[in-house]
Chain A
């Protein structure tokens, strides 16, 4: 995506979704033909517990304007406990990112079950709108051109 041109700029959102709930929820949104902005790029992981907080940083570094992480509701984890461990990480990473000055709208954590297609759609709509208002992310973003010239 061309992030430099302000006119054609579209928010780019990375979504890490657990295989059993949130990914299914997104699939269900598809099955129901629920239209949502084409700004989200889904990365399937087995469990929200699989999401290393560094993936979130990496996404921002590689030019994501927003990052969504989502798993089963607490108590519903397919692997019984993965999302509980994930929850602590998400809460802390959110605090950290806000503390260093990254807008809180850019990192969102949600519990989305396999039946919550609407919640998924609403989340994507809400994030896209909020990030569109904020504009492209400039914090933490690696300037790939600079890297190429260095190499």
Chain B
């Protein structure tokens, strides 16, 4: 059975049994090779649902607020974000039906030569090299928080790449070279806040950057305030970010956010042995401590 009919059949059954009142998934987009999130509320609509290697949007952001019984199609990144949402008490597990999918990794349209491929929406091998960087580094271990699972098990054709390779390269640079790099990146920022809006863990009711009293960040679009804003965002999400890469994907000026936040992820992993997006019962690293925590750098 192909994955779409499996998906549609399962969701149809969920509606029929009354397990869910709505379902969050993907449907075909208006352009070839594009999909878009969709929310369906009746079983007759299940044939809109699809899953392929272009379903890159992190659907967990549609889980905010007080939900009635909701089903969600969760790829790897969505699943990990749901773990973070559960850690932060942002979704009630009893209102959630997670239909996980054995995630094959998503195709980066910037990498693939799409025009040379036939238009189709079912799962197909796009080749390892065309995947998003985050997918290339993915270890394919789904956090066990789902109620059901679809899709064939993924056999990884190629060993995951070193997810911290670019960080190690960056660390070889001198202090000033690094600053030059980031200064250039941040100077592109137009403060559209797309990175914030798409971030699954930016669930604050009122964002720090929007606060006027006290004003944490100046609203000026000036290089220093942009640097400040972007670093503040890193501090804000460190330890909670599950590396879904949405901020980087949606950034209109292509600031390589993952190069920044992955650094914190790496440090947290090395210092505190914490890997995000695994266990909803685990406390995020900044919400706990051990007496014997390393304190290199503090004298």
A/B contact in complex, CB under 8 angstroms? yes
Q: Which residues of A contact B (CB under 8 A)?
A: 53-54, 57-58, 60-61, 74-75, 81, 84-85, 87-96, 98-104, 108-111, 123, 139-143, 146-147, 150
Tell me the bound Cα distance from A82 to B171 in angstroms.
Answer: 31
Contact: B231 with A96, CB < 8 Å?
yes
Closest to B208 in A: A54
Report if A91-B294 is in contact (Cβ < 8 Å); known contacts: A54-B235, A84-B289, A142-B224: yes
Main SS of the interface on chain A?
helix
Q: Counting CB contacts under 8 A, is B232 at the interface?
A: yes
Q: What are the interface flags for B271-299 relative to A under an 8 Å C-beta threshold, 1 for contact and 0 otherwise?
A: 11000000000000110011101111111
Please name 7 further chain A to chain B contacts, defined as beta carbons within 8 Å, in addition to the given A91-B294, A99-B263, A101-B175, sorted by A numbering: A61-B225, A87-B298, A91-B271, A91-B295, A92-B239, A108-B299, A147-B222
5 residue pairs A–B, Cβ–Cβ below 8 Å: A92-B239, A100-B179, A111-B298, A142-B222, A150-B220
Contact: A92 with B238, CB < 8 Å?
yes
Q: Counting CB contacts under 8 A, is B153 at the interface?
A: no
Set of chain B residues within 8 Å of A101, measured between Cβ atoms: 175-183
Tell me the bound Cα distance from A140 to B228 in angstroms.
Answer: 6
Tell me the bound Cα distance from A122 to B238 in angstroms.
Answer: 32
Q: Counting CB contacts under 8 A, is B268 at the interface?
A: yes
Q: Counting CB contacts under 8 A, is B133 at the interface?
A: no
Contact: B295 with A89, CB < 8 Å?
no
Q: How far is the CB of A51 from chain B (nearest CB, A)?
A: 12
